[in-house]
A and B are shown apart, each in its own frame.
Chain A
Amino acid sequence: MALPIYTSPGQRLWHYTYLAFCGFVLFFLVAPLVVVIPLSFTSAPFLNFTPEMLALDPEGFSFRWYRGLFGMCGNIEDNISTMCSNKWMTGAKNSLFIAIASTLMATFLGTLAALALSSDNMPARRLIMALMISPLIVPLIITASGMAFFFAKVNLTATWPGIVLAHTILGLPFVVITVTSTLVGFDKSLIRAGANLGGTPTYNFLKIQMPLIAPGMISGALFAFITSFDEIVIILFVGGPQQHTLPLQMWSGIRQEISPTILSAATILVLFSILLLTTLEMLRRRSERLRGITPH
């Protein structure tokens, strides 16, 4: 955004004010992460930058909170024993299990729905689409309340299947949205060509359509995964002590006493989401290349 040579000083001033404002907003967006990551390496049990840290003294930094996170606290001299319990790792395992199971289900069901909704002959298309997306719109607190009553009735409260089913519902809209938008550019004559060459509908789907909509499926799956992995309200309402997930561990940590252990967990989660974001971006580019749309 180089300014043309004929700009007046007023315009110049305005332009730089504008850029500063944008910079401020962008900083506002990433500020929490900028603070969390360095603070997670503190050696003091406070949630503040200590003078040693500000002076970049190596003494001020340590991995002690990460060791606590992974349940290694043999050589730590502090007496915060609860932080050494392995609840973080159990939580992470449980969260991963729930997220993977519900993502698989959501991807399968969502792709089915998206295929049907992209067909020109689908009756009540608008209504069904609206229904499919509604779990995204209805506040989680209402969804969770409804499911709490329903699950109590059918004995699904505090069970693994219950949580997985509930999270599947939450992930469904993402898959429907992403796969539907991949199907917009899908050339239906490819399927007809396949049929003409003797392929059965299933074969055609697996060999022609599926590879082309795969990027949409995967990015929908990623959204479903992150939603489930980060979900707390449903767990609070319909989960039991068995379903101790990572968000639940953070939740109780925040409500009792925030220790830098939470920050180290947060840092790892941030790295995790950077990984997911990169995957998604690569998929988007691949999808555009495959569909012959040049990246703009």
Chain B
Amino acid sequence: MTTQTALPEGPILTADGIPLKDSLQKSLRQNKLRAMFLVSTPLLFLVFLFIIPIGNMLTRSVDDTFINRVLPSTIEAFESWDKVSEPPESLYSAFVNDVKAADKVDIGKVSTRMNYAKPGWKSLVKRTARKIKKLKGPEYKDDLIKIDKRWADKEFWLSLGIMKDKATFGYFLNAVDKTYDFDKNIIDVEEERKVYNTLWYRTLLVSFIVTIACLILSYPVAYLLATLPMRISNLLMICVLMPFWTSLLVRIVAWMIMLQQNGVVNDTLVASGILSDENRLAMMYNFNGTIIVMTQILLPFMILPLYSVMKTIPPTYMKAAQNLGATPTLAFIRVYMPQTIPGIGAGCILVFIVAIGYYITPELVGGKDGRLIGNMVAYHMQKSLNWGLAAAMGSILLAAILLLYWLYDRIIGIDNMKMG
């Protein structure tokens, strides 16, 4: 009792005599440390196995140190050449010495890299490397030209100018159908070698069409689910969730069976007389196939956010609007729809993000004109082994997705992401 009356001027103390403020701060600090300790394991796990590997891969899109490591004196000799006169002997001997000193595998890799700058390098280096061991110096220029006439071609040597720096922007340029000329000016690649711009355009187009298609198909269904009595809507919800839970490959197989030339859909249409036998629709292994299958696969990603928003809108609003004289259509457009915009935004961004990076579905059902940028990344990763280009395309894709992710977080907040 005495302490209570004696203390008004001094700080409030806890039972053990420490000021309450300090004690609270200590406990807060402890909580904070505890939370940080808890999160440290999963965070480190994620950083080491996910963030760093991806970051590492992305650096490959600009990394060009390899050629400097394998052919150091060639690059040096190139720097001291005036680029106007004929290539000097020093350049040839530097190259021969570098090749002699280097590992055979490295030479192969370096020639692949040089081939990106000027087509022809790979065969030239490969052809020369086999005979280079036998050459006796000190003069190499004539010997090399004797092995292959192309060594006299100044163009090849000039192309080293694109590769001499330790970092290059070339892969990014390649990814949008541009390239460097020998003076490092940015130019368009030849018309017949342009492939990527079409692919980027197609990827955006497919994602856009799929998003819109999902929205148009989902909106009425989500509305129905949100307004029906719980018992029935729960049953219908199974239809929505079922495909969500079915293996992706199972669904793709199913679509293949339904949509192929002799598939269920075409057979039914022919049997019912809507289509003649020779006019069967081409719905698989092309652009249409990609669109149809992706729409079906991504539909739940649109229905669920829309449904969860519509669920929170009281039905009385519509009734009130109609009571005030609005027609049902007007009430729906002016009162109901604006309230569903968060759901529309969430669904659209989600579907678009997922669609833009698709790989498996277009690979299996897309045929030639249904392939997307993801397929090109896989192609360069596994087949052509042009990892720099794969990384550059991946970086552009990832940048676009992170931008949308950030937008999503801004508009909806990732905390509000729900599952099922």
Interface residues of A (CB under 8 A from B): 1, 11, 18-19, 21-22, 25-26, 28-33, 35-36, 39, 47-49, 109-110, 112-113, 115-117, 119-123, 126, 128-135, 137-143, 145-151, 165-166, 168-169, 172, 174, 176-178, 180-181, 219-220, 223, 226, 229-230, 232-233, 237, 247, 250-251, 254-255, 258, 262-263, 265-266, 269-270, 273-274, 276-277, 280, 284, 295-296
Contacts of B360 in A (CB 8 A): 232-233
* B-side contacts of A137, CB under 8 Å: 353, 401-402, 405
**Contact status A22-B381, CB under 8 Å:** no
Cβ-defined partner of A32 (8 Å) among B28, B254, B394, B397: B254
Do residues B250 and A18 form an inter-chain contact, with CB atoms below 8 A? Answer: no
Q: Assuming A266-B249, A273-B247, what are 17 further A-B pairs, CB within 8 angstroms? A: A29-B296, A49-B264, A116-B34, A116-B39, A126-B409, A128-B39, A139-B357, A139-B374, A139-B398, A146-B57, A149-B53, A149-B57, A177-B417, A229-B247, A266-B247, A266-B254, A295-B230
A39 CB contacts on chain B under 8 angstroms: 257
| B399 vs chain A, min Cβ distance (A) | 11
B220 within 8 Å of A by Cβ? yes
B402 CB contacts on chain A under 8 angstroms: 137
The residue on A at minimum CB distance from B350 is A137
Q: How far is the CA of A142 from the CA of B387 in the complex (A)?
A: 12
Interfacial residues, chain B to chain A (CB-CB below 8 A): 28, 31-32, 34-39, 41-43, 45-47, 49-58, 60, 217-218, 220-221, 224, 227-228, 230, 236, 238-243, 245-258, 262-264, 267, 296, 299-300, 328, 353, 356-360, 364, 374, 377-378, 381-382, 387, 390-391, 394, 397-398, 401-402, 405, 409, 414-415, 417-420
Note all chain B residues with C-beta closer than 8 A to A262: 253
The answer, among B42, B374, B378, B390, for a CB contact under 8 Å with A109, is B42
Given known A-B contacts A22-B220, A139-B401, A119 and B49 have beta carbons under 8 A apart: no
Nearest-neighbour CB distance to chain A for B193, whole angstroms, equals: 23
Contact A135 B50, beta carbon cutoff 8 Å: yes
Closest to B328 in A: A11
Whole-angstrom distance between the Cβ of B262 and the nearest chain A Cβ: 6
Contact B54 A177 (CB under 8 A): no
A247 and B249 contact, CB distance less than 8 A? yes
Cα–Cα distance between A254 and B249 once the two chains are bound (Å): 9
List the 9 closest pairs (A to B, CB-CB), nearest first: A139-B357, A32-B254, A150-B53, A116-B39, A146-B54, A116-B38, A146-B53, A266-B250, A109-B42
* Minimum CB distance partner of B243 in chain A: A29
Across-interface contacts of B381 in A (CB, < 8 A): 145, 148, 237
Contacts of A296 in B (CB 8 A): 230
B410 to chain A, nearest CB (A): 11
Q: Which residue of B lies closest to A181 (CB)?
A: B418
Asked whether B257 lies within 8 Å of A36 as measured between CB atoms, the reply is: yes
- Which chain B positions have C-beta within 8 A of A178? 419
Bound-complex Cα distance A169 to B44 (A): 11
**Given the complex of chains A and B, what is the CA–CA distance between A137 and B414 in angstroms?**
11
Q: Is the CB of B249 within 8 A of A273?
A: no
Q: How many A-B residue pairs have CB under 8 A?
A: 266
14 A-B residue contacts at CB 8 Å?
Answer: A19-B224, A25-B220, A28-B299, A30-B242, A39-B257, A122-B39, A137-B353, A148-B381, A232-B248, A232-B360, A250-B250, A254-B249, A258-B256, A277-B241
Most B CB atoms within 10 A — which of A39, A122, A220, A226?
A: A122
- Whether A48 and B50, one on each chain, are in contact in the complex, defined by CB atoms closer than 8 angstroms, is no
* Residues on B with beta carbons closer than 8 Å to the beta carbon of A165: 49
Cβ-neighbour of A177 out of B382, B398, B418 (below 8 A) = B418
In the complex, what residues of B have CB within 8 A of residue A280's CB? Answer: 420
Q: How far is the CA of A20 from the CA of B390 in the complex (A)?
A: 46
**Which partner residue on chain B sits nearest A184 by CB separation?**
B415
Expressed in whole angstroms, the Cα–Cα distance for A47 and B276 within the complex equals 21
Assess whether A258 is in contact with B253, with CB atoms less than 8 Å apart: yes
Q: Quote the shortest CB–CB distance from B227 to chain A (angstroms).
A: 7
Q: Which of A112, A126, A145, A284 has the most CB atoms of chain B within a 10 A radius of its CB?
A: A145
Taking a contact as CB atoms under 8 Å apart, the answer to whether B409 and A28 are in contact is no
> Are A48's CB and B267's CB within 8 A?
yes
Q: Known: A146-B56, A247-B247. Is A169-B50 also a contact (CB below 8 A)?
A: yes
Which B residues lie within 8 Å of A150 (CB)? 49, 52-53, 56-57
Instruction: Chain A residues near B246: list those with CB within 8 A.
Output: 32-33, 269-270, 273
Residues of A within 8 A of B405 (CB): 130, 134, 137
Chain A residues whose C-beta falls within 8 Å of the C-beta of B359 in the assembled complex: 139-141, 233
Docked pose: A62 CA to B347 CA in angstroms = 43
B374's nearest neighbour on chain A, judged by CB, is A141
When A141-B374, A169-B49, A169-B50 are in contact, do A33 and B254 touch as well, CB less than 8 Å? Answer: yes
Asked whether A143 lies within 8 Å of B39 as measured between CB atoms, the reply is no
**Judging by beta carbons under 8 Å apart, are A273 and B50 in contact?**
no
Interface pair B401/A138, CB less than 8 Å apart:
yes
A33 near B57: Cβ-Cβ < 8 Å: no
Give CA–CA (A143, B397) in the complex, Å: 12
Q: Are B377 and A48 in contact (CB under 8 A)?
A: no
Q: For residue B328, which residues in chain A have a CB less than 8 angstroms away from its CB?
A: 11
List, in ascending order, chain B residues with CB within 8 A of A232's CB: 248-249, 360
Complex Cα gap A146–B217 (Å):
36
A150 to chain B, nearest CB (A): 3
Q: Which among B38, B364, B397 is the interface contact of A139 at CB below 8 angstroms?
A: B397
- How many angstroms between the C-alpha atoms of A133 and B200 in the bound complex? 26
- Output the least CB separation between A259 and chain B (Å): 11
The answer to whether A119 and B243 have CB atoms under 8 Å apart is no
Determine whether the beta carbon of B243 is less than 8 Å from that of A30.
yes
Choose among B28, B38, B53, B394 the residue with the greatest number of A CB atoms under 10 Å from its CB.
Answer: B53
Q: List A contacts of B240 (CB < 8 A).
A: 26, 29
* Cβ distance B228 to chain A, nearest Cβ, rounded Å: 6
- Which residues of chain B are within 8 angstroms of A181 by Cβ–Cβ distance? 418
CB distance A48 to B264 under 8 Å?
A: yes
- Given A226-B245, A232-B249, A270-B250; A138-B221 close (CB under 8 Å): no
Complex CA gap A168/B44 in Å reads 13
